C-alpha cells in the first residue's frame, strides 16, 4: 500500500512536469496570454479544436497535484485511496470515468 502511494506521487509529478515541459511551451502559453484572439475563431476552426484538446489534457494533468497529495497520504497512513481519474479517455460509462 505504501509503495502504491509512492507510485502515485511519481505519476503526479510526471503529469505536472508534462504540463510545464510540453503543453505550455508548444501552444497553451499563447492562449493564456491572449484569450480574446482565441474567442474570435468559431468553434470548428482547427486552432480552436486544437486548443480545446490541449486544455483538456492540461486539466487532466493538473490533477497530478491531487495524485501527489493522495500518494503522500497513502504512503504515510497506509490507507488505500482511490484514483481520482484512472483513465478518463478510455472510459465507457460515467462510473468508469470517475
**43-58: pLDDT as tens digits:** 788 877 888 888 888 8
Q: Quote the cell numbers at residue 59.
A: 486539466
Q: Is 35 exposed, middle or buried (0-12, 13-18, 19+ CB in 10 A)?
A: exposed
Please, which pLDDT band fits residue 59 given cuts at 50, 70 and 90? confident
Please, which pLDDT band fits residue 86 given cuts at 50, 70 and 90? low
Of 28-37, 47-56, 69-78, 79-88, the one with minimum mean pLDDT is 28-37
* Number of domains making up the chain: 1
Helices H / strands E in the chain, number of each:
6, 0
Which residues constitute the domain of residue 82?
Answer: 2-97
**Degrees to nearest 5, angle at CA 33 with 29 and 38:** 90
Amino acid at each position: 500500500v505504501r509503495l502504491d502511494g509512492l507510485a502515485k506521487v511519481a505519476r503526479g509529478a510526471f503529469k505536472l512536469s508534462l504540463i510545464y515541459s510540453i503543453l505550455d511551451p508548444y501552444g497553451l502559453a499563447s492562449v493564456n496570454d491572449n484569450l480574446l484572439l482565441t474567442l474570435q475563431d468559431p468553434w470548428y476552426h482547427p486552432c480552436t479544436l486544437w486548443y480545446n484538446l490541449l486544455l483538456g489534457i492540461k486539466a487532466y494533468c493538473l490533477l497530478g497535484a491531487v495524485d501527489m497529495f493522495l500518494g503522500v497520504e497513502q504512503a504515510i497512513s497506509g490507507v488505500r485511496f482511490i484514483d481520482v481519474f484512472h483513465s478518463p479517455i478510455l472510459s465507457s460509462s460515467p462510473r468508469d470515468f470517475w
